[in-house]
Amino acid sequence: MVRAIMHGCNGKMGQVITGLAQDDEGIAIVAGVDQYTEQKNDYPVFKSLAQCDVEADVVIDFSNAAAVDALISDCVAKKIPVVLCTTGLTEAQLEKAAAAAKEVAVLKSANMSLGINLLLKLVKEATKVLVPAGFDTEIVEKHHRLKVDAPSGTALALADSINEELNNEYAYNYDRSQVREPRKKEEIGISAVRGGTIVGEHEVIYAGPDEVIEFKHTAYSKTVFAKGAVEAAKFLAGKAPGRYGMEDVI
């Protein structure tokens, strides 16, 4: 059985994963880390990973970007693999995660669902055919009103996947309100909608001459992300240092 520490254990995703792990004989949450350590879990909760004295095989992280620097340092110090799911990381944090992967196994993914991980591949095929034929690419993401980062990590991952097929020559446009000019060809538009309890929707729109093709993924519950994170943790426990992704798990 894989022993996991849940970083951000009292948050929305932390609690869904805690529930899922209770019914899974392949994984046990042996400790948690959160800002407030009041006891609502059947495992001990610490204020930081550094303070956690419980032995574990892997850390699962769903917290917030401000917590990730310390998390990465603590994982390296303790030599524990980490499944990094928090979004909204800075360039410096992404570089820190890449450097940490030389010391421990790091699996970073903005979206743990099967559907989005398939879509990341499908958009490459679509881009290859459609962009040279004159199609423009726009991404629209929708999330619940409590989400603090925008655009979503998934929207950025989709844009990166598309841009790789375009030799990374396209710029991302998040806001057209400040200029009065036609859309540039070499850009990918990314728009964010926030409201209510929307779990997560991502649309990739290819708009061409007289025709439009749209790919859409809708998450109906946080369980799709939680299941992916649990499988990723089982996969990562015991792995050699290096960078891993959900494509290695699925």
Ligand X SMILES: O=C(O)C1=N[C@H](C(=O)O)C[C@H](O)C1
Q: Which residues are annotated as a binding site for NAD(+)?
A: 8-13, 85-87, 109-112
Q: Is there binding between residue 115 and ligand NDP (CB under 6 A)?
A: no
The Cα–Cα gap between 174 and 124 comes to 21
Integer angstrom CA distances of residue 50 from 97, 151, 250: 17, 31, 31
User: Is 200 one of the binding residues for ligand X (CB under 6 A)?
Assistant: yes
Q: Is 234 a catalytic residue?
A: no
Binding flag, residue 87, ligand X (CB under 6 A): yes
Identify whether the C-beta of residue 177 lies closer than 8 Å to the C-beta of residue 162.
no
Site residues for ligand NDP, window 219-248 (CB under 6 A)? 225
Instruction: Choose between 1 and 148: whose C-beta lies nearer to ligand X.
Output: 148
Q: For this structure, is 147 an active site residue?
A: yes
Q: Figure out which of the listed residues 81, 88, 151, 189 binds ligand NDP, where binding follows CB under 6 A.
A: 88
At closest approach, how far in Å is the CB of 131 from ligand NDP? Answer: 27
In the chain, % helix, strand, coil (3-state, to 5) comes to 35, 25, 40
117 binds ligand NDP (CB under 6 A): no
* Cα 75 from Cα 50, distance rounded (Å): 9
- Maximum C-alpha span of the chain: 62
In angstroms, what CA-CA distances link 102 with 108, 149, 171, 242? Answer: 14, 28, 30, 6
- Decide if 250 contacts 117 (C-beta within 8 A): yes
Q: Which residue has its beta carbon closest to ligand X?
A: 200
Please identify every residue annotated as catalytic: 143, 147
Give me the residues that bind ligand NDP (CB under 6 A), please.
7-8, 10-14, 33-36, 62-64, 67, 85-88, 109-112, 149, 225
Chain residues that interact with ligand X, rule: CB under 6 A: 87, 110-111, 143, 147, 152-154, 200
